[in-house]
Amino acid sequence: MSDQDFLPAPAENTVLNREDAPRIHFDGSKNSAMETGRNRLLVTGMVVLLAFTVVGGRLITLATSSPDTDKKIARATAKPNAVGRGKIVDRRGVILAASLPIASLYANPQGILDADEAADKLAEILPDLSREELLVKLRGKGQFVWLRRNLTPQQVYDINALGVPGVAFADSERRVFPHGRVASHLLGMTDVDGKGIAGVERYFDDTLSNDGGRVQLSIDLRIQAILHQELTSVVARFNALGAAGVILDAQTGEVTAMVSLPDFNPNDVGTLHGEAGFNRVTKGVYEMGSTFKLLTAAMALDSGKVLLQDRYDARKPIRIARFRISDFYGKNRWLSVPEILIYSSNIGAAKMAMDLGGKAQKAYLTKLGLLRQSTVELPEVGTPLSPARWRDINTMTISYGHGIAVTPLQMAAAIATVVNGGYYRPPTILKKDKPKPGAEIIRQIFSEKTSGQMRNLMRLVVSRGTGKKANVPGYRIGGKTGTAEKQGNGGYRKKALISSFVAAFPIDAPRYVLLVLVDEPKGNKSTYYSATGGWVAAPTIANLVRRIAPMIGIRPVLEGDKPKTGKSKISKRRRAPVKAAFVPSSRKFVERARERSGAH
């Protein structure tokens, strides 16, 4: 039986119209399939519309975002180049500063789904960041914010495990100074973005940043560490405000070591503040006191206006205008040129300078680079202080280191000129290649004869004069003490001293010039409560030579000390009414030169 059997039979001679045809109904499964198709088309259309909306919104955001935001996002997401910031090394190739790859955490607040939950989770892993601080950053209106720089590998792993949307890592670098404070003022430091902000890092920022250029310094890390230790010790021993020290190659002008105290930790940018960030060696300018008498003697002898055997009346103080120039430990008699240095006579130095003349004095100091800024390769460079008008009183006070202020580095370079044959070489912190014959341009300020005379005089100061505490058996050291009162309250403060000592060794053929300066040392029982350069700075020089000389291969000489003073004829001018003329090797001279150690 078929379906037709259930349909009524049409009437005879009747035509069936379309309207009269029976209606056919689809079953339920076919109807459901059509509905599903329509829904899928609707969803697909909505997804496409949403995609276009997101893309359009992103384009609008990019078109209206600030350049600063773009740069931050680019810096955060870009990987560092294969080279990175260049290394800084010492003269032997030892690494002083280098960059290490490291990860930093940032967030896009617009992608944070639940700021409270994200802050809670991140605060557990980064306890140095408070929850409140994180919430402020995560709820910000911007699209980029740093959360934490320089993460440890463990922190990166833990944060990754959280799966917090909206936070990501940026590959970056961290500047590392493996030797800490030892050379902090010289090296300087970088900020969190790796840009140099002080010292060599700042001066050579372009070189170090571009293609990883390497900078090789002239310092020897071994000697640098010794100088840092000795200055730290002298500051602690005499409860001083600070200290400065420099060791200079007398033949090339290269800085072998440079230390300023107090110092900072270049691995912690927060320590670069106040006095700790002040480089006393290149930025600080000081009245150097009696160390300047070496320059006065060299200028006077080199000019030919003063001879080695000339003598000056030092029996009475000099009174000029409202000023009074006197000696710290006056001998109250006529003094020869060597005795003026041995006994550190202000009166004798002032009279010697007047014979030289203020015009010539200023010309020599200009040639020595003491009246202008140093050209050393550091951003922290001080400007010397000198008189606007060069009057007689200025000529006199400058002769013994008052009325003019220079940096310790400038003073060391000037003394190097005195002892190395008279040739001035600008100080540099960069290692020099051996110059080809005739390639190096230098200036000769003093004659070879004057330089030889000054080396002998400096040796006398250490072996028989005020610098005896700088003497080291087996090493011929020459030098000069210096003690200057600091200015303040419209005058000089007698108990606030700058105590210093400048030396050269081996004095017969100087290889290094050493300068130590201590700011406001306090005398103690071991120094009979004296805080002069002879008591404070001279022993530090001795310790430096004692430690450095064997390291660099300078062998001690055990032969007797037989200083020479040159062969200049005795001048008939200013002959003193004394019974015996000055003869350096005479017994009477030796007896007169005896003086208790530590004098001014």
Note whether residue 75 is domain-resident.
no
Note whether residue 343 is domain-resident.
yes
550 has pLDDT over 90: yes
Q: Which residues are bridge partners to 553 per DSSP?
A: none
Lowest-confidence segment of 50-54, 318-322, 573-577 by average pLDDT: 573-577
424 has pLDDT over 50: yes
Report pLDDT digits (tens) over 460-487: 999 999 999 999 999 999 999 999 988 7
* Structure tokens that stand for 398 in this block: 């400058």
Pick left, alpha or beta for residue 16 (phi over 0 → left; psi -120 to 50 → alpha; otherwise beta).
beta
Last residue of a domain, one of 216, 236, 269: 216
3-state DSSP assignment of residue 263? coil
The DSSP H or E segment spanning 95 is: strand 95-107
| Average pLDDT value for the chain | 83
Q: Enumerate residues 6+ apart whose C-beta is below 8 A from 102.
A: 150, 151, 172, 173, 174
509 has pLDDT over 70: yes
Contact 297, 364 (CB under 8 A): no
Cα–Cα distance, 423 to 460 (Å, whole number): 23
Mean predicted confidence (pLDDT) in 438-449: 80
Note whether residue 517 is domain-resident.
yes
Note whether residue 337 is domain-resident.
yes
Question: How do beta strands 88-89 and 95-107 pair?
Answer: antiparallel
* Structure tokens that stand for 382 in this block: 């001080």
* Structure tokens that stand for 574 in this block: 């200013």
Verify that 306 and 163 share a domain, yes or no. Answer: no
Verify that 212 and 230 share a domain, yes or no. Answer: no
Where in the sequence is the domain holding 170, given as residue range(s)?
Answer: 88-216
Cα–Cα distance, 118 to 162 (Å, whole number): 9
Contact 522, 496 (CB under 8 A): no
| pLDDT (0 to 100) of residue 516 | 98
Contact 215, 204 (CB under 8 A): yes
Mean predicted confidence (pLDDT) in 542-571: 71
381 versus 73: the higher-pLDDT residue is 381
Verify that 246 and 210 share a domain, yes or no. Answer: no
Lowest-confidence segment of 118-132, 150-164, 316-330, 577-591 by average pLDDT: 577-591
Mean predicted confidence (pLDDT) in 163-179: 88
Contact 318, 396 (CB under 8 A): yes
Cα–Cα distance, 283 to 188 (Å, whole number): 13
Verify that 208 and 228 share a domain, yes or no. Answer: no
Cα–Cα distance, 70 to 455 (Å, whole number): 64
Cα–Cα distance, 325 to 576 (Å, whole number): 21
**Residue type for position 43:** V
Last residue of a domain, one of 199, 216, 233: 216
175 has pLDDT over 50: yes
| pLDDT (0 to 100) of residue 577 | 38
Last residue of a domain, one of 197, 216, 235: 216
Q: Angle 392-399/346-356 helices, nearest 10 degrees?
A: 130
500 versus 120: the higher-pLDDT residue is 500
Verify that 205 and 238 share a domain, yes or no. Answer: no
21 has pLDDT over 50: no
Cα–Cα distance, 377 to 140 (Å, whole number): 43
Note whether residue 405 is domain-resident.
yes
Residue 547: phi and psi, rounded to 5, are -90, -35
| pLDDT (0 to 100) of residue 316 | 92
The DSSP H or E segment spanning 453 is: helix 448-464
11 has pLDDT over 70: no
* Structure tokens that stand for 363 in this block: 């010309």
What's the CA angle centered on 452, arms 534 and 421, to 5 degrees?
A: 105
DSSP character for 435?
P
**Cα dihedral across residues 284, 289, 291, 296: positive or negative:** positive
Residue-by-residue DSSP string for 372-411: S----S-S--PPPB--SS--HHHHHHHHTT-S-BB-HHHH
Q: Would you place residue 347 in the very low, low, confident or very high pLDDT band (cuts 50, 70, 90)? A: very high
Note whether residue 38 is domain-resident.
no
Cα–Cα distance, 139 to 443 (Å, whole number): 65
| pLDDT (0 to 100) of residue 286 | 95
Q: Would you place residue 245 in the very low, low, confident or very high pLDDT band (cuts 50, 70, 90)? A: very high
Verify that 276 and 343 share a domain, yes or no. Answer: yes
182 has pLDDT over 50: yes
Q: Would you place residue 51 in the very low, low, confident or very high pLDDT band (cuts 50, 70, 90)? A: low
| pLDDT (0 to 100) of residue 210 | 83
Share of the chain above pLDDT 90, in %: 56
Pick left, alpha or beta for residue 100 (phi over 0 → left; psi -120 to 50 → alpha; otherwise beta).
beta
Verify that 383 and 407 share a domain, yes or no. Answer: yes
Q: Which of 460, 418, 421 is nearest to 562 (CA)?
A: 460
| pLDDT (0 to 100) of residue 273 | 86
Residue whose entry in the numeric block shows the structure tokens 């989770």: 121
Pick left, alpha or beta for residue 81 (phi over 0 → left; psi -120 to 50 → alpha; otherwise beta).
beta
Residue 599: phi and psi, rounded to 5, are -70, 165
381 has pLDDT over 80: yes
Q: Would you place residue 53 in the very low, low, confident or very high pLDDT band (cuts 50, 70, 90)? A: low
Cα–Cα distance, 292 to 411 (Å, whole number): 8
> HSE of 401 in the Cβ direction (CA atoms, 13 Å)?
31
**Residue type for position 291:** T
Which positions are annotated as active-site residues? 290
How many domains does one find in the chain? 2
Q: What is the CATH number of the domain that holds 471?
A: 3.40.710.10
Q: Would you place residue 563 in the very low, low, confident or very high pLDDT band (cuts 50, 70, 90)? A: very low
Helix and strand totals (H; E) in the chain: 18, 18
Verify that 311 and 419 share a domain, yes or no. Answer: yes
Cα–Cα distance, 83 to 80 (Å, whole number): 8
In whole angstroms, what separates CA 93 from the centre of its chain? Answer: 19
345 has pLDDT over 50: yes
Verify that 466 and 320 share a domain, yes or no. Answer: yes
Verify that 305 and 193 share a domain, yes or no. Answer: no
445 has pLDDT over 70: yes
Lowest-confidence segment of 45-54, 81-90, 203-212, 416-425 by average pLDDT: 45-54
**Cα dihedral across residues 426, 431, 437, 438: positive or negative:** negative
Q: What is the CATH number of the domain that holds 190?
A: 3.90.1310.10
| pLDDT (0 to 100) of residue 460 | 96
Note whether residue 10 is domain-resident.
no
Verify that 146 and 240 share a domain, yes or no. Answer: no
3-state DSSP assignment of residue 454? helix
Note whether residue 69 is domain-resident.
no
| pLDDT (0 to 100) of residue 119 | 86
Q: Would you place residue 584 in the very low, low, confident or very high pLDDT band (cuts 50, 70, 90)? A: very low
Verify that 229 and 204 share a domain, yes or no. Answer: no
DSSP character for 143?
S
Cα–Cα distance, 72 to 146 (Å, whole number): 9
